[in-house]
Each structure stands twice: as structure tokens, then as C-alpha cells.
Structure 1
Amino acid sequence: MLPLATVSGWTLVVLLVPAVIAAWVVRVGVDIGDDGLTVRSLLGQRQVPWSRLAGIRVAPRGDLWLVTTARTEVRLPVMRARDLPRLAALSGGRLEVPEPPTEKDQ
């Protein structure tokens, strides 16, 4: 990338793409602790204490959203519906994951 980026001044922008991707990979995530969840985005973070968590919404595409007691929602950027059992285990029993329906239930 460096030889291409040094051809002219405007091609230095080519270096920004991998830099932004690397920053996203390092920065974005969810931290789960005893006080609650911390959702980190590229430019900021938001703390949601366990006492303010009303539930979790699963979007049609499998994205997870924290629903707070104030009726606001916070997207969990790196977690999907398949991560719910792991999230419930890491919550220390604060979150429950319902069992999937069996063939008898349908």
C-alpha cells in the first residue's frame, strides 16, 4: 500500500482505509462486568448498569439490542443471536435465554 499511496498526495487517502479498519477491530466491542455492560464504538462508549437493563431485543437479522428501563436501545455491535447463551453465562445469571421451541411445541 505504501508505494501506491506515495504516488501523489490524494492517494494517501488509501492508507486511511486500513487504518480505520484496524481502529474498528481494536476498539469496537462489549465488556461485561459486575456493574453492567459497556458497549464500545469507534468514537465512544456507553455503560448500561444491570439495574437499568430491561431486556434484550433480537432484530430480524440477528443483531442484539439492549433495551433499558428508560425505553432506549443500545446496539451490541459485535454480538448476534447465536451469542445469547454465552452472554447469559457471562452475565452471572442476570440474563436468561429461553430454550428454542421443540417440534412438539410447534
Structure 2
Amino acid sequence: MADHARMRLSRVALVPVVFLAVCVLPFAAAAPWAAVVLVVPLLAAVWVLRVGVDVDDEGITTHTLGPSRRVAWTELAGIRVGRGARLRLVTTAGSELQLPVLRARDLPRLAALSGGRIDAP
């Protein structure tokens, strides 16, 4: 298994974010208080760049706009496919943790990165 693998959104997802920023710029320039709307494209850009999953020899780390969460391989009970084909980690404690930006179609790649710890369908 690779030492560390990152699964993120494509940077091409920043194109609509830039388009959004250009579209809200005239509104933001109309009044001093309207500049607050520039926060929306900024948050969208941060989301595209940050959100994802890291897989390494110790476990899986999920990154969201909030804090990152790590699940060690010893704490992993399995993977559940939820609504919209979203993947969720199921821990040995019975809790679930959503894997951001990953869908059921990404399960074979995740299984390969896990070094056999996750079974591919």
C-alpha cells in the first residue's frame, strides 16, 4: 500500500467557484455591507480545496470544513453505502462517519488503497 493517498475533488471544481465570485462582485461593490456575499465563493473555494479523505498505513482520515476525524484500521468494522451512493465508515463502536466526496463508484479504489483491509464488491 502507498504510504499516503489523498482522495479529493478535482481542482476543476474551482472553475464554477471563480464564476460565482465574478457574478457576485458587482453586487458586493454596490454597497459596503454587500461585501459580505464574497464570503460565499470564499467558503466554496475552501470546501473544494479541503474536503476529502486520506488513507495511510494507520487508518482513514476525513477532512471537512470542520475538524478532521481519524479512524484507525483496528476501529473499522466496515463500509456502508447510504443514500445517494455515499460511503460511510462503520466503527467497531457502532458509530458512522461519512466519507466526504466519495461514492460507491470509488469503493474499488478505496479498497485497493486500504491494502486489503476493505473488501471491494
Structure 1: tracts of 5 or more residues without a match: 99-106
Aligned: 1:87 with 2:76: no
Report SS of the residue matched to 1:20: helix
Structure 1 ranges of 4+ moved more than 6 A: none
Question: 2:4 is matched with which residue?
Answer: none
Question: 1:53 is matched with which residue?
Answer: 76
Report SS of the residue matched to 1:6: helix
Q: Compare the two structures and name the one with the higher helix fraction.
A: 2
TM-score under structure 1 length normalisation: 0.87
What letter corresponds to residue 65 of structure 1 in structure 2?
A: R
What is the aligned residue count?
98
Report the alpha carbon displacement of residue 10 of structure 1 after superposing the two structures with TM: 2.3
Identity %: 57
Larger Rg belongs to: 1
Report the alpha carbon displacement of residue 3 of structure 1 after superposing the two structures with TM: 4.1
What letter corresponds to residue 12 of structure 1 in structure 2?
A: A
The CA RMSD over aligned residues, in Å, is: 1.1
Question: 2:97 is matched with which residue?
Answer: 74
What letter corresponds to residue 73 of structure 1 in structure 2?
A: E
Aligned: 1:25 with 2:48: yes
More relative contact order, 1 or 2 (CA 8 Å, 6+ apart)? 2
